Amino acid sequence: MSQNLRIVLIEDDDILRMGYQSLLTDVEDFVVVNAYASYDLAKKHLEADQPDVILLDIQMPGTNGLQALPLIKKALRNTSIIILTVFDSPELVFEALTMGAGGYLTKNSGAAKIIDAVREVSTGGGAMSTNVARIVMHSFQKNLNSPLTKRETEILDRIANGQTKSQIANDLFIDQETVRSHVKNIYIKLDVNSKSEAIKTAKEKRFI
């Protein structure tokens, strides 16, 4: 019997999808069974594809990667899933890992890292790009007594890094009004009246 690892790609960017397909096809014991532009296009074929590993993008037309993740895990219990995305927010990382992703790589990961990650998750290991591993480690160093929710912490973290409400809304797949509502709650919980006060207080108390 063949020991080749069966791989499926789900990525809406045509150039990236072809690039990953070319990269992985060149690996001796890998076989790219199929490559799809969205989960909606892939879902009818995945059981027949019987992949060992799926590389899954987050931002796609129709059902996005985070919505697709539990559906794939339910249908293909023995398949490992690596999230491969441009998004590396703590909220998305933890959501994906909680829902059963075996790895989380950002798209600036090198070819060797992607190949190693496929091998690693196929044997039950976990794979993360360096920046994602840093996010996970940082989360354990935060003050666990923070009054802020995970989402509020994520938003304040992004504000501290200079992101606008519009950028935050786009990155987290929420609308700007929801971001404003979270910011208002942050101000109330931290007893502050401005962005700079919120950032200062949160950093002093290790909430971010």
What is the pTM assigned to this prediction? 0.68
Tokens encoding 191? 């007893």
What's the pLDDT at 136? Answer: 76
Instruction: Quote the CA–CA distance of 84 and 128 in Å, as a whole number.
Output: 10
Last residue of some domain: 136, 160, 194? 136
| Same domain, residue pair 48 and 126 | yes
Q: Which amino acid is at 28?
A: E
Do 69 and 97 belong together in one domain?
yes
Pairwise CA distance, residues 182 & 187, whole Å:
9
CA 162 to chain centre: 21
In a structure prediction context, what are the per-residue pLDDT tens digits for the chain, which is 208 residues long? Answer: 457 999 999 999 999 999 999 999 999 999 999 999 999 999 999 999 999 999 999 999 999 999 999 999 999 999 999 999 998 887 788 889 889 999 999 998 999 999 999 999 999 888 998 888 887 777 766 667 889 998 999 999 999 999 999 999 998 999 999 999 999 999 999 999 999 999 999 988 888 8
Backbone torsions φ then ψ of 158, nearest 5 degrees: -70, -40
Say if residue 163 is in the same domain as residue 105: no
**CATH code of the domain in which 181 resides:** 1.10.10.10
Between CA 188 and CA 162 the distance in angstroms is: 21
Give the whole-angstrom CA distance, residue 152 versus residue 131.
21
> Do residues 90 and 182 both lie within one domain?
no
What is the per-residue pLDDT for 1?
Answer: 43
pLDDT at 117: 95
pLDDT at 53: 97
Query: How confident is the model at residue 135, as a pLDDT?
Result: 77
Range of the domain at 181: 143-204
The span from the CA of 166 to the CA of 184, in Å, is: 16
